Amino acid sequence: MNAMLLRNPLLLAMSLLLLSACSGESNGGAQPILFPDGFGGGGNVLPTGDTSGGGGGAEDSSTGGGGDDVAAAGDTGGGGEDTATAGDTATGGEDAAATADAGGGSEDVAGGEDTAGGQDTTTGEDTSVGEDTAPTGDASGQDSGGTACVDVDQDGYGNGCSQGPDCDDSNPNFALVCPDCSKANHPGCACTVAAANCYSGDPQWIGKGVCIAGVQLCKNGFWGTCEGEVLPQPESCDNKDNNCNGLIDEGVLSTCGTCDMSCTQQTMGPDFGNPFDPGKDSSNGVGVDGQGYIVLDKSKANFDLNHIWIANSGQATVSKLDTKTGAEVARYNVCGNPSRTSVDLNGDVWVGCRQGGGVMKIIAKEANCIDKNGNGTIETSKDLDGNKQISGNEMLANGQDECIRFEVKPNNSESIIRAAGVDKDNHVWVGGWNTKQLYRLHPDTGAVVDTVSLGCPPYGLTIDQKGIIWVQCTSGGLKRVDPLTKQMQSFPYKAGAYGINVDMFGRIWVASGANASRFDPTTGQWDLVPGINQVGGSGGGGRGVATSNDGNVYVAVDGGHKVVKINAVTLAIEGAISLGGGRYPVGMAVDFDGYVWAVNQSAGSATKIDPKANAVIGEYKVGSGPYTYSDMTGYTLHNYTAPKGHYTHTFGFAGYSGTVAEAKTKTVWENIDVQAEIPAKALLKVRWRVGENLKDIETKAWSKEYGPFPPALFPIDLTMEAQPVEGRFLQVEVFLQAGSNKLSPILKSLKAKGKQIPVL
C-alpha cells in the first residue's frame, strides 16, 4: 500500500472501506495489498490457494503468457495479468518470476524492479522461506540484495527500510513522529471506544464564554480529528465572552459600558482606579479616609477659615487676623458699637452691632468680592505696608469697602443686635435685644426669612448639631428653641450666665462670676464647676466660653486676666493660663489648628495660647475696646453645628490640545451620579457648571443646588434641563454635611455621563 496513504488516517480509512467491499472479488488486475494486523485481512499475507483479484490465472498451475513483469510461484496473492505456477518458466516477460510463495507486499511485489533472479528466467525451487512468510529479497521490503526491511504496519517505514525507521511499527498512522497515545487521544492513535470528548486548547477555557469541547470519533480502530470544539476568539461587542477569560466585551465597549462608542463616562473614586485628590482639586474641608473615600476633615479647610474676626466696639471696626501668623490682614469700618461676629460656612463673617440695630456681612476672599463701582479693581482694606497691622490710611470709609457685601436692619424698631450664630443651611440667626426676637437672615441678601418671638432679651446664642438654637437670656434662664416648630423650653440657671457655647458632646456651657456651668439636653440637668475665679490667682469672673475637640472647655476670667481650662467630661479644672495684667479677657475662641484665643478688652489685643503647654504663644494688637465672644473663627459651626465641606472635580477632556480632530466633537452631558454612605441627618448637595476650557469654566455660573440627598435620589438627570448641558468640561461640586451624631457622609464615587456628538 502506498506509504503516504498509510500515514494519512483519513485516506487510510477510505482505502480500508474500499478493500472491505472488494475482498475476494475480481479486481481487474489491481496489484495485491497486504493488510496489517487488526484490519480484517488475516495474517500478513493472503491465505495459500486463493487468488485475490487474479486476472484469469489458474489456481495452481498455469502459464501466463504475455504478462509484462510478474509470474507468481505456487499460491500468489494478487498476480499480474498472467500468472504461472512454481516450477514453470514465465515466458515473454522481461524479468523472471519471483520464488515460490512470494508475498507481494508494498512496492516490491513480484515482477517489480527489484525482484530476485536473472534477466529472463528463474526457478523457485530453492527460494521459498515459508508458506505465509515473505521470502528473502521481496515482500518484507528488502532492497535487492540488501538488509531485510522489517515493516510490520506496512507504512513503508521500519528497521532496514529505505524511507527510514518507524517510531511505532504497530500503527500505520505514525512513523517519523509518534505522540504519547497513553496521555491523549491524538488523531491516529488506536481506540477501543466509539467516541470521546476532546479539546485542543487550554482545558481551563472549556465552559467559559463561547468555548466548548468537541467530539472525537473512533473510526476503524483509530481516533479521528476533534470536531465541534470552539477555541477563544478576539473579543467583539456582542455581550459574549468571546475570548473565554470570564469577562464580557472587555476592551471593546465605550466608557459607558455599552457598544455605543459615542457614549462617554468618567468615574472618580478609588474603586475605579481614579483616586480622589482633594488637595489637587478645588475642595475645602474634606480629606480622604483610610480607604481613599472623601470625608469631612476640618484640618483640610482652606485659608478662608484661618482667620479670627474681632469686633472693636470702641472703634466701630472689625479686625481680621491670620490665626497662623497673628498678623492683622484687614480692618473694616462697620456699623456702630459692634460686639458679635459669627463666621459662616464659606468663611465669610456676619457682624451684629449694638448701635442702630445693623447687621453687616464681610466677604473673606477678595476674589469673591463684588466690583461695585465697575472699575475692574476690588477696593478693600488690606495691609499695604507689610507691618502686619492695619493703620488708618489702609482702611476705607464705611460704604466704600467692596468686600463688605451689605448692611441690613432686621427690624427698624430694633437698635441693639447682640446674639448671632450661623445654622447648617448657612443662614445667620441674630437676636434683637429690644424686640426680644430672633431673626433668620438670607446669606445672599440679608433679608429676614424667619422670626421667633422669645419673650426675653437675647444676649448670646449657639446652635447645636440637631439645629436647636440655645439662647442665653438675661431673664428666664437658658432657652431651647426649635426653629422648625417654634417650640421653646426654659431651663433656669443654677448659676449666672454670660458667654455660651456647645461642646463636642452636644452639651451647653455658660459662665459667670465664680462658676462655669454645663447643661445636658438629654437629662435636663445642670452641673457646676465652681471656683474658676480662684485658680491661678483670685479675681474676676467668667465671661466668654470656647469648646474644643481636645475635650476641654476654655473660660475667660476677666479681672483675673487669665484663661481657665476645664475637662469637658470630668469637670476637673486642668489649670489656668495667665495673660498678664491689664488684659481683661472677654471673648474666647479656638482656631482650626487647635490654638486657643482670648480677646483682651482692656489691652486692645488678642492672645494666642498653646493648650497643650498651657502657655502663651503671642499677643497681637487689634482696634480699641475689642469685645467679641461669639463664634469668631467659625470653629463651633464647622465642628459642631454643621460640619461641612465640599469636593470639586472637573470631568472632560483634560488632555485637549485644540486639534482639528478633537474640535469635531462636543459633549452633551446626560447625568451625574454619586455613590455614598450618608448617616442619619447627614446630607449631600450637588451643583455643576460647564465650559469649553479649564479657564473658561471658572467664569461660568453654577447651576441651582440639587438635593438634599436624601430624600432626593441619584442620579441627577441633566437631560431634563431647559437647555442641553453642553460643554467640553463639566465641573461638579458635592457638598457634604455631617449628621446629628457628627458622623461624616462618605463619598465613594462621583460619575458623569454624556454623549459625544459631531460638530457640523
Q: Is 485 or 120 the better-scoring residue by pLDDT?
A: 485
Q: How does residue 293 score in pLDDT terms, banded at 50, 70 and 90? A: very high
Residue 563's pLDDT is 98
3-state per-residue secondary structure call for 144-173? CCCCCCECCCCCCCCECCCCCCCCCCCCCC
Instruction: Give me the DSSP letters along 463-527.
Output: E-TTS-EEEEESSS-EEEE-TTT--EEEE--SS--SEEEE-TTS-EEEEEBTEEEEEETTTTEEE
- Let me know if the fold of 263-297+644-758 is the same as that of 313-465: no
Partnered with residue 552 across adjacent β-strands are: 567
Beta bridge partners of 647: 734
Q: pLDDT by residue (tens digit) across 407-450?
A: 999 999 999 999 999 998 899 999 999 999 999 999 999 999 99
> Could you tell me which residues are beta bridge partners of residue 590?
596
Report whether pLDDT(360) > 50. Answer: yes
* pLDDT for residue 537: 87
Percent of the chain with pLDDT over 90: 62
pLDDT exceeds cutoff 90 at 600: yes
pTM of the model: 0.60
Closest to 406 in 3D by CA, of 443, 372, 348, 360? 360
pLDDT at 221: 93
Domain definitions of the chain by residue range: 1-178, 180-252, 263-297+644-758, 313-465, 493-642
pLDDT at 231 over 50: yes
- pLDDT score recorded for residue 251: 76
Domain 313-465 falls under CATH 3.40.50.300: no
pLDDT confidence of residue 454: 95
For residue 583, pLDDT beyond 70 = yes
CA 204 to chain CA centroid, Å, is 29
Choose among 151, 187, 185: nearest CA to 167: 151
How far apart are alpha carbons 194 and 713 in whole angstroms?
63
Query: Average pLDDT of the chain?
Result: 80
Q: Which long-range contacts (CB under 8 A, 24 or more apart) does 611-619 make?
A: 611/548, 611/550, 611/552, 611/554, 611/565, 614/565, 614/574, 614/575, 614/577, 615/577, 616/577, 616/578, 616/579, 616/580, 618/326, 619/579, 619/580
Kindly state the greatest CA–CA separation across the chain: 154
Element (H, E) at 10: helix 9-22
501 within 8 A of 547, measured Cβ to Cβ: yes
Question: What is the per-residue pLDDT for 1?
Answer: 38
The count of other CB atoms within 10 Å of the CB of residue 48 is 13
Domain 493-642 has CATH 3.10.180.10: no
Length of the chain: 760
Least confident of 3-12, 204-213, 688-697: 3-12
From the candidate CATH numbers 2.60.40, 2.40.10, 2.60.120, 3.90.930, the one assigned to the domain spanning 263-297+644-758: 2.60.120
Give the pLDDT band of residue 284 (cuts 50, 70, 90): confident
Q: Are residues 3 and 157 in contact, defined by beta-carbon separation less than 8 angstroms?
A: yes
Question: Is the separation of the CB atoms in 348 and 361 below 8 Å?
Answer: yes
Span 183-225, pLDDT tens digits? 999 999 999 999 999 998 999 999 999 999 999 999 999 999 9
**pLDDT tens, position by position, 451-476:** 999 999 999 999 998 899 999 998 88
pLDDT of residue 662: 52
Q: pLDDT band at 23, cuts 50/70/90? A: very low
* Position 396 pLDDT exceeds 80: yes
CA–CA dist 247, 260 (Å, integer): 18
Task: Measure the CA–CA gap between 444 and 406, rounded to whole angstroms.
Answer: 9
3-state secondary structure of 95: coil
Give me the phi and psi of 162, to 5 degrees please: -65, -30
Question: Given this model, what pLDDT does residue 688 score?
Answer: 95
Q: CA 757 to CA 549: how far, in whole Å? A: 52
At 561 the pLDDT is: 97
> Before 711, cis peptide (omega within 30)?
yes
Task: Map grid coordinates 467630661 to a residue.
Answer: 569
Q: What is the DSSP letter of 366?
A: G
Which of 39-48, 128-137, 454-463 has the lowest average pLDDT? 39-48
Query: For residue 303, what pLDDT band results from cuts at 50, 70 and 90?
Result: low
